Chain A
Amino acid sequence: MKRRFLTSAATLFCVAFVSAPALAGGWWLKSPACDPDSVGSGTVNIQDSVTGNFWSFEVDYQVFASNNCANPDPVNGSFTYVYTVTFADEGPISGLSLQNLRVEIANASAVVDAGYLTGGPGVQPAGVSVNITPANNVTASFADGSLNVGDTSLPIYVVSPYQPGAGVVNLQVTAFTGSGAALVPAALPQACPCTTSYWNLRITLWPFFLHDFPGTQLDQIETKAVALSGGFFTSKTDLVAALLYPGLLDVRKKAKRELAAVLLNAAAGELFPANTKCRLFLGTQLDQDNDGTPDSTVSAAIGQIITEIQSNDLFTQLDALSMAAQIDNGQDVVGLVLFH
């Protein structure tokens, strides 16, 4: 009896010991000090409906905030997404390998960095690139014959300011593709608008702020801000003149000054979403009546502020001034973050 028990226990141990490494791809990446902020895994099946052939893969993912001590590539204001794919089953047809792993993302221009991690076992991709077809995605491509059944890839990483959201990972074997659910860079980045005073100082070249939006970036932001105004500001000169208005009594001009800052914040976010100084997004949600529920967006507020300034009605212009100032100061911005 005792001997049978010992045999069973030893067998169980041996089975568990041998199979453990195959349970999760990229297991060697795990830090003893910190856990990822989000983890998950799922199975992706590629099915040939005509012949009945199929290929099965397990995709593991981890998401790290920039301040997570286990983040392998921390970038302030951005999230690091790590994906590992394991070729689990090749069905009746053998000899084919995985060609592409595509992580579908919301905005291809908002990828700060992408690549793969080394330091443990895994199949190295031939390359990791950002593409806009067939959908916005980060593609890890593998050489033919390199990632076969039983193999696990090296961890593929994507750094993006976009927040984690439900999305899709797409895999390709020859001409066949299959998709599975995963956390991907899907939700708008966190907002951190700058005040009117900041933009005033930056545009007048206050020395301490010259490192923000260097080179032609500031010029691009001004151009974009003018465009977002729908013709309300006729030129960059017009926009800057409104921003630099020094008076206290003219409500219309004060509202225009705050509007100019809102537009500059939105332009900075749309053009340079990974910047951690000033960023708003047209889809950033606002809670204007302070009831804890989002009730508007930055793009809707821009239109409302512009038309209310044009109303020539004192109280309506005061409303426009208040709305714009509260966005610039971050009071109405849902999910506001300060990165510095």
Chain B
Amino acid sequence: MGFAAGLCAGALAGWLAGAGGRGPAPAAPQVRVVPTFEAARADEAAAALGAPEAAARAAQPDPAEPAATQTGLPRAEKLVAISRSREPHDVLAAWDEDAASASPGERRAFVLLVSPAQSDASLEALARDVRDENEDARLLDVRVYDDADAARSPRVADAGQRARAHLVAEVQRNEAAGLDVIQVRGRRVLP
């Protein structure tokens, strides 16, 4: 027992002496990386496109553009007609990509007005209704405000702070981007 204690005490003293010395800093570990993931070695050396192709692209004519820009959000009756939710609301604006077409387009937008006192449950029901009524649209952007002026005012003036303060519900869907969201007063609701 005494011998063992003495042995360990000696080892302790030796270790303390070694640790207390001002020897060189410990060396960095000699770490080697062994990659095993073959996909990381994908070859990226394929040649870039040639300049003539880009020049040809730049020379492509602009696609046909619609009539000149006007002021005031449009209110397409063909879209108002499909908005049949029983929850109280007004359609301030509604439009799609082709105002001349009699049928609703693939990319639709709605700006709706509700009362500031409208309940979350009512807003959620309204949002679901509008989403369901436009399920055939590839892209849908619905904004529900509780103040008409805020809904119509340009956002560039105040970074959209006033509009956002009165934005009480949103419906956003974009199939290609995997987006399908309903938000009511900042709370995300499963569609």
Contacts and interface: CB of A to CB of B under 8 A. Distances in A.
Interface in A222-279: 227-232, 234, 237-238, 240-241, 244-245, 251-253, 266
A116 B178 CA distance: 35
A13 B74 CA distance: 82
A232 B107 contact: yes
B191 interface: no
Nearest to A9: B12
A92 interface: no
Of all A-B residue pairs in the complex, the 7 with the closest CB atoms, nearest first, are A215-B46, A10-B8, A307-B109, A230-B139, A7-B5, A114-B37, A115-B35
B81 interface: no
A312 B100 CA distance: 13
11 contacts: A10-B9, A32-B26, A217-B44, A218-B48, A219-B49, A231-B106, A244-B58, A252-B69, A282-B178, A312-B70, A313-B70
A241 B34 contact: no
B60 A299 contact: no
Interface residues of B, number: 79
Interface string A74-114: 00000000000000000000000000000000000001111
A50 interface: no
B69 A73 contact: no
A269 B74 CA distance: 34
B179 to A, nearest CB: 4
A32 B25 contact: yes
B106 A13 contact: no
Interface residues of A, number: 87
Interface of A: 3, 6-7, 9-11, 13-14, 17, 28-33, 72-73, 111-120, 127-130, 157, 159, 203-205, 210, 214-219, 227-232, 234, 237-238, 240-241, 244-245, 251-253, 266, 282, 288-291, 295, 297, 299-300, 302-304, 306-308, 310-319, 322-323
Contact of A303 (B7, B47, B48, B141): B141
B29 interface: yes
A6 B9 contact: yes
Contacts of A219: 49
Contacts of B65: 252-253
Given A128-B36, A231-B107, A310 B95 contact: yes
Contacts of A10: 5, 7-9, 11-12
Given A215-B45, A313-B72, A240 B106 contact: no
Contacts of B60: 237, 240-241
Nearest to B139: A230
Contact of B177 (A112, A114, A127, A299): A299
B179 A311 contact: no
Contacts of B44: 214-215, 217
B70 A302 contact: no
A210 B48 CA distance: 7
A283 to B, nearest CB: 9
Contacts of A318: 154, 156
Contact of A205 (B1, B49, B70): B49
B8 A14 contact: yes
B146 interface: no
